[in-house]
Amino acid sequence: MLDDFFTRALLAGIGVALTAGPLGCFVVWRRMAYFGDTMAHSALLGVALSLFFQINLLLAVFGVAVLVSLLLLVLQRRQSLSADALLGILSHSTLAIGLVLVAFMTWVRIDLIAFLFGDILAVTPADIALIWGGGIVVVAALALLWRPLIASTVSEEVAEAEGMKPAQTRLFFMLLMALVIAIAMKIVGIMLITSLLIIPAATARRFSSSPEWMAVLASLIGALAVIGGLFGSLQYDTPSGPSIVVAALALFILSLLPAMRKHPAGPAASQGVR
Amino acid sequence: MNVRGGGDRAEDQLVSLKGTGIRRDGRWLVRGIDLSIRRGEVVTLIGPNGAGKSTTAKLAIGVLRPDEGSVARMRGLRIGYVPQKLAVDWTMPLSVRRLMRLTAPLADAEIMTALTATGIAHLLDAEVRHLSGGEFQRALLARAIARKPDLLVLDEPVQGVDFAGEAALYELIRSIRNATGCGILMISHDLHMVMAGTDTVICLNGHVCCRGTPETVSQSSDYMKLFGGSARSIAVYNHHHDHTHLPDGRVEHSDGSVTDHCHPQDGHHHDKGGHDHEGHDHPHNGDHAHQHGHNHHQSSQTGGSARA
């Protein structure tokens, strides 16, 4: 079954979508969309460094994303510029440096478009193993950290006062985000990763009665977008990464239609999780 | 000083600050704070805007770290915290029930008990973002008390609560102290509460101005000086205002002169504090109406210098 490129693409895409759902909810709740974008854009710098130093691509992308987020924390603490200005600087300069470095390395030929917009049809069984393995790690970590994550999203001060460690929680969250960006890069590409985090979560919001339910729904909606996008791209011969994002957007717009009245999954869903 | 009497024993000490100060951008927010809270003790912080009340509370519970002095908390101290500000992002679907379990698991029965106590049991499954300011405040208070904390820290716990509700919530806070023997650190602008339900009042203005029982503090000259202007918002019993506090903190007197501080002889300061209010000839309700009027007046005057 894994012989078929389309099946592999489906498996890889669904794996990424399931992982991105809960994480994307936190991106939305914590208003970190631009932050996610910045981490994603820095991935190209990771790609360039991995080519230059001949190190593992995933490791390099993950490392650069973590470094950029730490750098942002340090810069924010100095409060010389607003957070969004800093994000803008880091986001585009890391992307630009990555592009320049790649251009300098005349001895390597890489398909930039594949990195920028994804190359889901070229995933290998090893990629799928990585996506699902990494995804399980991310989802398990989120489940373990769930209460402190939610608590510090609502109020870092209350979380801290009542015995949690929101600074640590935030750091863990950034590591998870860097990991997801590293493994999702091949599917939708650097430019579109954040859309896979944000759009399904935003779509899930209207149908959710609890944070837990919203996380689950975001995963399912993301998976639906992957399936729709891939079939659409097959049907109309469109690029697959952008097609997935367009499918996600279509679901989001559908969810806004008045006919799709808020239909919460019932209090049972929210009661089930403590 | 602790009217409940009892121990100065170390194990009763929940939190103690010694010479604590915190600095931001080269400016001391508060400095030289000595403060301790024992089991069963209600300590209320009062002071003008920017006096460092919330900052002091955050130092006490470890949300802020001191730049000088020390903060000692009892080992395993369980804190219930109602912050001054809390905004739940509207993108997060959060019911009151889920909010109650924010930092620790809680049985449904415990949730209901706490919500009933604060009068919002009917809002159990309401979404937090649809609550009114007063309802949200009640939910936050319920959440804090449901934890059965050793120390309850309440930063203006009744803001936005309607007038009848205020008295009931203060009564509830008192009864929690009596029932559980927890310590309470409160920031309040309500002189009634300060007078009636507090063991120790600490008057702040970047440092500890004065402290003691409500009776002694309300008669102290430091309190008079500090609350000369700001007391308009809480000094329910004084009605002769012959000077105005300028936005920069200076004081303009009726004769047009401007000084750094109020004079002790400034009009309403001669009125005695709350301790003799029984002899006051204003009807009780009238007093409150008056107080509210001054609240607005006060905020428009000092709004520019307000800070957390």
A223 vs B281, which has greater pLDDT?
A223
Q: Does residue A77 sit in helix, strand or coil?
A: helix
The answer to whether A208 and A214 have CB atoms below 8 angstroms apart is yes
- A-chain CB neighbours of B60 within 8 Å are none
The widest CA-to-CA distance across chain B, in whole angstroms, is 63
Burial of A257 (0-12, 13-18, 19+ CB in 10 A): exposed
A230 vs B26, which has greater pLDDT?
A230
Produce one character per residue of B264-281: b if its CB has 16 or more CB atoms within 10 Å, e if not: eebbbbeeebbeebeebe
pLDDT of residue A109: 80
Q: How far apart are CA A176 and CA A142, in angstroms?
A: 8
pLDDT of residue B63: 93
CA B81 distance to own-chain centroid: 12
- One pLDDT digit (tens) per residue for chain B, 308 residues: 434 444 455 667 899 999 999 998 888 999 999 999 999 999 999 888 888 999 999 999 999 999 999 999 998 899 999 999 898 888 999 999 999 999 999 999 999 999 999 999 999 999 999 999 899 999 999 999 999 999 999 999 888 888 888 888 888 888 889 888 899 999 987 766 677 778 899 988 888 888 888 878 777 777 777 665 444 444 433 333 344 545 555 555 555 566 555 444 444 333 333 333 333 343 444 334 343 333 343 333 333 333 33
Q: Does residue B68 sit in helix, strand or coil?
A: strand
First to last CA, chain A: 39
Tally Cβ neighbours within 10 Å of residue B135.
Answer: 21
Mean pLDDT of A39-43: 92
pLDDT of residue B260: 57
The answer to whether B15 and B185 have CB atoms below 8 angstroms apart is yes
Residue A236 lies in a domain: yes
pLDDT of residue B168: 87
The answer to whether A214 and A201 have CB atoms below 8 angstroms apart is yes
pLDDT exceeds 80 at position A160: yes
Residue A273 lies in a domain: no
Q: Do you know the residue count of chain B?
A: 308
Residue A133 lies in a domain: yes
Q: Does residue B27 sit in helix, strand or coil?
A: strand
pLDDT of residue A225: 96
Mean pLDDT of A74-90: 82
Q: How far apart are CA A226 and CA A13, in angstroms?
A: 6
Give percent above pLDDT 70 in chain A.
Answer: 93
Mean pLDDT of A129-152: 95
Q: How far apart are CA B110 and CA B1, in angstroms?
A: 35
pLDDT of residue B166: 86
CATH number at residue A185: 1.10.3470.10
Q: Could you say which of B81, B91, B105 has the minimum Cβ distance to residue A162?
A: B81
Q: How far apart are CA B199 and CA A79, in angstroms?
A: 41
Residue at token pair 């919530």? B169
Q: How far apart are CA A77 and CA B95, in angstroms?
A: 33
Of A158-167, A237-246, B242-251, minimum mean pLDDT range: B242-251
Q: What is the CA radius of gyration of chain B?
A: 20
- A-chain CB neighbours of B79 within 8 Å are 161-163
Amino acid at A169: T
- DSSP 8-class letter at B95: B
Amino acid at B124: L
Please check whether residue A198 touches B, CB under 8 A: no
Task: Number of A to B CB contacts under 8 A, please give it.
Answer: 80
Residue B302: CA count within 13 A, CB half-sphere: 23
Cβ separation A162–B103 shorter than 8 A: yes
Of A80-89, A249-258, B79-88, B198-207, minimum mean pLDDT range: A80-89
Closest CA of chain B from A162, distance in Å? 5
Q: Which two tokens stand for residue B160?
A: 């936005």
Band (A261; pLDDT cuts 50, 70, 90): low
Closest residue by Cα to residue B169 from B159, B180, B158, B179: B158
Give the strand order in the sheet containing B251-253: B243-245, B251-253, B258-259
pLDDT of residue A149: 95
Residue A42 lies in a domain: yes
Please check whether residue A221 touches B, CB under 8 A: no
Q: Which two tokens stand for residue B113?
A: 């008990």
Residue at token pair 């402290």? B211
Cβ separation B103–A29 shorter than 8 A: no
Please check whether residue A150 touches B, CB under 8 A: yes
Q: Which residue is closest to A167 within chain B, CA to CA? A: B63
Q: How far apart are CA B161 and CA B138, in angstroms?
A: 8
Please check whether residue A268 touches B, CB under 8 A: no
Tally Cβ neighbours within 10 Å of residue A129.
Answer: 12
Q: Which two tokens stand for residue A51?
A: 């080519």
Tally Cβ neighbours within 10 Å of residue B308.
Answer: 13
pLDDT of residue A273: 38
Cβ separation A157–B99 shorter than 8 A: no
Q: How far apart are CA A47 and CA B74, in angstroms?
A: 51
The answer to whether A209 and A264 have CB atoms below 8 angstroms apart is yes
Closest residue by Cα to residue A190 from A110, A252, A247, A81: A110
pLDDT exceeds 80 at position A258: no
Residues forming beta bridges with residue B73, ordered by sequence position: B15
| Segments forming the whole domain that contains residue A226 | 5-268
Q: Which of B94, B128, B148 to mutate to test the interface with A (most CBs of A within 10 A)?
A: B94
Which residues lie closer than 8 Å to A87 by C-beta, 6 or more apart? A34, A35, A37, A38, A72
Closest residue by Cα to residue A51 from A120, A123, A115: A115
Q: Could you say which of B63, B94, B104 has the minimum Cβ distance to residue A160?
A: B63
A228 vs B263, which has greater pLDDT?
A228
Q: Could you say which of B83, B98, B106 has the minimum Cβ distance to residue A158?
A: B83
- Strand pairing class (B251-253; B258-259): antiparallel
Amino acid at A187: I
Q: How far apart are CA B120 and CA B114, in angstroms?
A: 9
pLDDT exceeds 90 at position A137: yes
**Across all residues in chain A, what is the average pLDDT?**
88
Q: How far apart are CA A110 and CA B211, in angstroms?
A: 72
Q: Which two tokens stand for residue B121?
A: 């049991």
The answer to whether B163 and B187 have CB atoms below 8 angstroms apart is no
Q: Which two tokens stand for residue B161?
A: 């609560």
Residues forming beta bridges with residue B201, ordered by sequence position: B44, B212
Q: Which two tokens stand for residue B195?
A: 């007078």
Mean pLDDT of A3-12: 89
Q: How many domains does chain A have?
A: 1
